[in-house]
Structure 1
């Protein structure tokens, strides 16, 4: 591979991984600062300080991404103007909400509930209120898990949604966690998205394509 093509591929990859790019840039600045430590001690010290700040920022941002389940305002249900999903052809299209997130109204065992689509969440999560209304009971034979939230670590029970439906999509026997730390919010995670034929974001619209499109509902 030619050097220019390699640099182009590397640049494209780093552009898709901003935290990695920030960490690598901070390390590079730190190396340059170390090289200048003797010949230009003030400049070298300044560069090393900038490097340390960059690494700390990358670490804090990484922690913020890992701690996905939180009761902060990111997961507060929007009060006004939440867009509605629609079905076009074989696709369910979800416009972005005013809060910058994608929200859908889905039926959990036939009960309509609002969900935040979170591609950083491994598993779908519902609030205890949603679980009670829709008849999702934690399975006693399945072990509970620890979930870190803004209020600390809480225990979350594992259950199964018999039928999860919105737009032209239906998923059956979908694993979920019943998470008290989410407050009233519900989250669609990757264990649902991975069942789709494909999903993508185009502009300000999330496009979901099921393997077996169903008659439209919840639109």
Structure 2
């Protein structure tokens, strides 16, 4: 820190105070409205971005969610299932709830597999999905596992993602086959 840093900091703080004070004085009659409008920009931005995957030919573009993850809704055995894209997951992983929704009975499955998760090991049951449809593409007899542990959202792992050319950008995931 040289001897000019402190005077520069004081100057910038004073400049900010003057500009901010001017703004407040000019908009004091409509200050409530100004604050309300400035709070809407986040909502406007979110509303302008697509929240669902967009299919363009052989390309599927998935926007990033507010939490930084990518979510896809696929049809499994004719039932819509929400998946989070998880490059750390080796397989397609269904929650027990989603497994039941697509016609599998978790109570009759053999949970002899083990998956290592961030929360420790969990039991898994290997299954075959009759169909998995995503973005106009349908795969049949798709291998997957049912998670015997606590899992909120089903995972779309590398066994499925590896069937595509996968590109991540700042705000979207692009799958191309």
TM-score (norm 1): 0.52
Partner residue in 2 for 1:116: 84
Preserved CA contact (<8 Å) 2:111 2:124: no
1:129 aligns with 2:97: yes
Structure 1 or 2: more strand by fraction:
2
Distance in 2 (alpha carbons) for counterparts of 1:149 and 1:195: 23
Preserved CA contact (<8 Å) 2:95 2:151: yes
Distance in 1 (alpha carbons) for counterparts of 2:69 and 2:111: 31
- Give the CA deviation at 1:143: 7.3
| Cα pair distance change 1:195/1:122, threshold 3 Å | same
Preserved CA contact (<8 Å) 1:136 1:161: no
Preserved CA contact (<8 Å) 1:126 1:179: yes
- Give the CA deviation at 1:202: 2.8
Unpaired segments of 5 or more residues in structure 1? 1-79, 211-219
Matched ranges for 1:60-139 at <5 A: 83-136=51-104
Distance in 2 (alpha carbons) for counterparts of 1:150 and 1:96: 22
Preserved CA contact (<8 Å) 2:53 2:63: yes
Q: How many residues align?
A: 129
Structure 1 or 2: more helix by fraction:
1
TM-score (norm 2): 0.64
Which shows bigger deviation, 119-128 or 141-150? 141-150
Higher relative contact order (CA 8 A, sep 6+): 2
Partner residue in 1 for 2:174: 207
Preserved CA contact (<8 Å) 2:90 2:158: yes
Larger Rg over CA atoms:
2
What is the SS of the residue equivalent to 1:123?
coil
